[in-house]
Amino acid sequence: KQLGLAMHNYHDTHRVLPPGDVNAGGYDCAWLGTQETRNHTGMLFILPFIDQANLYNQINFSMATGSADGNGLCTAPAAGIQTSVTSRPIVVFECPSDSYSSGPQSYSSNTAYTLTRDYRTSYAFVYIRYNSGGPYETASTVKTAFGHNGAARMRDFSDGTSNSVLMMETPMEKQSYIRGPFWATYVATGPVLAA
């Protein structure tokens, strides 16, 4: 309920919903060209609307969330400084009835999906996940409220918002420690795949 209200308040302020992610990376930076990988999640953008404005104001959005990896997060600068801000659990992003706690997760590889002390969230935006080479699903019939580097406006919901799902709950315990969603850093397993 609080996250839904936060998204409505974000929309009232910006006249658009928050993006699902900003400049999400892929398994291979070669296809990105000059795009600067940021791997920001939409959760970062609703922080001021869940009483986390102080934390939001500490985030440098010109830097990636996560950390520099073998590819240096493509052309983005190293992001180690961000971990002091993004490596915190946020109570609103955790379901109170889900008692599983994995603590902060770290994952380093030669991919653009690199985590440093990131916390999972119990909630995921419903949209098409992004991966190496682009979105998994590109059919024009697949419409979601959130997108990569953008999102919908309330007026875009042709059947009204009461018939739309923006977020879904997902268990904190996963098959692998790299599985998302994480509240601060985008990984391809974070969003709920819409198909």
Q: Please report whether residue 177 resides in a domain.
A: no
Q: Enter the pTM of the model.
A: 0.79
Number of domains in the chain: 1
Q: Please report whether residue 176 resides in a domain.
A: no
Q: Model confidence over 117-158: pLDDT tens digits? A: 788 888 888 876 655 455 545 555 566 778 778 788 888 888
Of the two residues 126 and 191, the one the predictor is more confident about is: 126
Q: Please report whether residue 194 resides in a domain.
A: no
Q: Answer yes or no: are the C-beta atoms of 187 and 121 closer than 8 Å.
A: no
Q: Please report whether residue 188 resides in a domain.
A: no
CA 148 to CA 105: how far, in whole Å?
A: 24
Mean pLDDT of the chain: 73
Q: Model confidence over 21-48: pLDDT tens digits? A: 887 765 445 444 445 667 788 899 999 9
Strands (E), the chain: 21-22, 40-41, 105-107, 115-118, 123-125, 130-131, 134-135, 146-147, 150-151, 167-169
CA 102 to CA 174: how far, in whole Å?
A: 9
Place of tokens 């102080």: 54
Q: Model confidence over 3-24: pLDDT tens digits? A: 989 999 999 999 999 988 887 7
Tell me the average pLDDT across 170-187.
74
Closest CA to 183 of 99, 121, 95: 121
**Strand 123-125 to 167-169 pairing:** antiparallel
Tell me, rounded to whole angstroms, the distance of Cα 96 from its chain centroid: 21
Q: Please report whether residue 182 resides in a domain.
A: no
Residue 7 sits in which domain range? 2-169
